Structures are given as structure tokens and as C-alpha cells.
């Protein structure tokens, strides 16, 4: 059986540090969801994208700067793909990858807009000095 690889764009610097923090928080939130093989693939992908987008929306760098535009979308996509790649059973990755490719780009914008108006998660702070010299 061929190995399925979900490709992600590499992140660097502050964006990678932000992605790591969001990944850790997302994994805590979604860990049990990925353990249930009976969860529908669509629900799994949508829950992953919405959780990551919501966390992204409340994340600030140096307690005051929000991540904006394409960087925000790249981080959401990167973290969501990483979660799927690492937490989904190898038997299901190809099926979920296809679904992820079909819906992720269209839905990320919707989820980020929703998260902007419905900030219900705690804030994540990323101190810049611990990441890079700004």
C-alpha cells in the first residue's frame, strides 16, 4: 500500500511558533475526536477547521498584535493538515485528505469570519521575544 502524504506549505519564524502553539491547543481540544473511528469524515474535517480557526482568531503576538490576512489562512491550513496527518489512522488518511482538499480552502474564510464575531475561546499569547528578535 502506498503511503499518502498531505502536503503543507512550510512556515517560518513567528508564524511557525504561532502554529506550534495553536497545534498544541487544538490537539488538546480535538484529541478524543480523532480517537473515535465512527465519527463521520466531514464532521472530523469541519470540527478540525473550526477549532483551529477559532484559536487562530483569539491568538495575539506580544499580547496586542493580531495575525491577519494570508498568514492567518496559511497557519489555519498548516495546523489543520498537521492534525489530520498525525492523528488520523493511516487507513483513513487518503479518504480524509480528499475531503480536506475539497472543503478546506472554501471553508477557512467562513470559519475565520465566524470566529471574529464569536470569540468564545481563551486567548493564546505568543511572546515575540521568545520566538525571534523583533
Residue 33's pLDDT is 83
Q: How far apart are CA 88 and CA 34, in angstroms?
A: 6
Instruction: Give per-residue pLDDT as tens, 61-109.
Output: 887 788 888 888 899 999 998 998 888 776 677 788 888 888 888 888 7
Task: Quote the pTM value.
Answer: 0.74
Confidence of residue 129 (pLDDT cuts 50, 70, 90): very low
Residue 121's pLDDT is 52
Instruction: Give per-residue pLDDT as tens, 45-56.
Output: 888 998 898 888
Q: How far is CA 56 from its chain centroid?
A: 8
Amino acid at each position: 500500500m502506498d503511503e499518502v502524504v498531505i502536503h503543507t506549505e512550510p512556515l517560518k519564524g513567528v508564524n511557525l511558533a504561532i502554529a506550534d502553539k495553536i497545534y498544541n491547543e487544538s490537539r488538546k481540544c480535538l484529541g478524543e475526536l480523532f480517537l473515535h473511528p465512527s465519527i463521520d469524515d466531514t464532521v472530523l474535517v469541519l470540527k478540525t477547521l473550526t477549532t483551529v480557526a477559532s484559536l487562530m482568531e483569539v491568538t495575539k503576538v506580544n499580547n496586542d498584535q493580531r495575525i491577519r490576512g494570508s498568514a492567518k489562512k496559511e497557519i489555519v491550513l498548516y495546523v489543520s493538515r498537521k492534525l489530520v496527518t498525525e492523528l488520523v489512522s493511516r487507513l483513513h488518511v487518503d479518504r480524509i485528505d480528499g475531503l480536506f482538499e475539497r472543503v478546506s480552502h472554501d471553508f477557512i474564510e467562513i470559519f475565520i469570519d465566524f470566529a471574529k464575531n464569536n470569540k468564545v475561546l481563551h486567548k493564546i499569547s505568543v511572546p515575540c521575544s521568545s520566538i525571534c528578535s523583533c
